[in-house]
Structure 1
Amino acid sequence: MTDGTGNTAETVALEAAVYALSEKLDAIDARLERMDAKLERMLGLYDAIGIIAAGVPPRLVAALYAMTPAEHVALQMVLDNRSNREISVCLDVPEAQVKTWIDSMIAKLGVKDRRDIRALMYPVMAKVPAADYIRASGGIPKDWNDKYGVGGIPDPFRRIYHPD
């Protein structure tokens, strides 16, 4: 027997079952993504223990983990006293993008301006172990600015932070 469109009742039932299964799989996938995000946060907290043990206040550790890799690159360049224009030229991004990154850092660090970023973060960067910084930064090394923060030097980390 057909449903008027040439489909048999069996085909219609099979399509309904496939649709229901697809809905269930989507729900499971969403739940797994939430669980994965929770696990990442828990592992981040575990990783942060080393930085806290080094004497960095927990709120600043949280700020380091909250920053994006691009913000970490910009942070290192701000600590080197670079202007937004210099950062944008070096990273080959619009100056407005650099401003966005720095404004985001200011908010995450709870400071007023880039001078406050430097005053707050110089001692923090001195205390943070290099391996812990790499985990907090999403893969950007602590000495990125010293090695790759100048034009013309190939940057193997560009794919991590650049918005290509």
Structure 2
Amino acid sequence: MNNSNMTSESRGALVGSRTLRVTAFTTSKGSIYTVHEDDTTSRNKAYRPEHGRDEVGQQPRSQHTFYVTQEQADALSLVQTHGSAKCIARLSTGQYGVAYMSGKDAGKIERRTVVDAAATPAIGLLPVEVWEGGSRVHFGNNIVAVQSAG
């Protein structure tokens, strides 16, 4: 196996001649995510009084998950505002941004939302889970711990 082109961001932490793949992480609010090999995640949501007991437990597996800073999450949160339908789109550059799906700007990317994201969870980043082609989004809380397997 040639590790010369492998980065710790895209594959996990390189230790000696083997790569450790991140298999799970925990957020600041106590939710535990399982990281699947296809860039999806499954979240086991921790109890939070403001959400009640109905939302505790296993949540639907994402169709894709990527990881951003708080500032990047703030930019992408435009997807959750009222008005024209929007989604989070992965650009040909590998970046992510908010795309308009309807209205006069349909098909356009909101330039101020374009961010470079990490493919691998890391402490301090936030997970962004997407479904339905990016039109359904969950912004997670700060990652406080990661677990790896080799």
For normalisation by structure 1, the TM-score amounts to 0.29
Higher share of residues assigned helix: 1
Higher share of residues assigned strand: 2
For normalisation by structure 2, the TM-score amounts to 0.30
- Which has the greater radius of gyration? 1
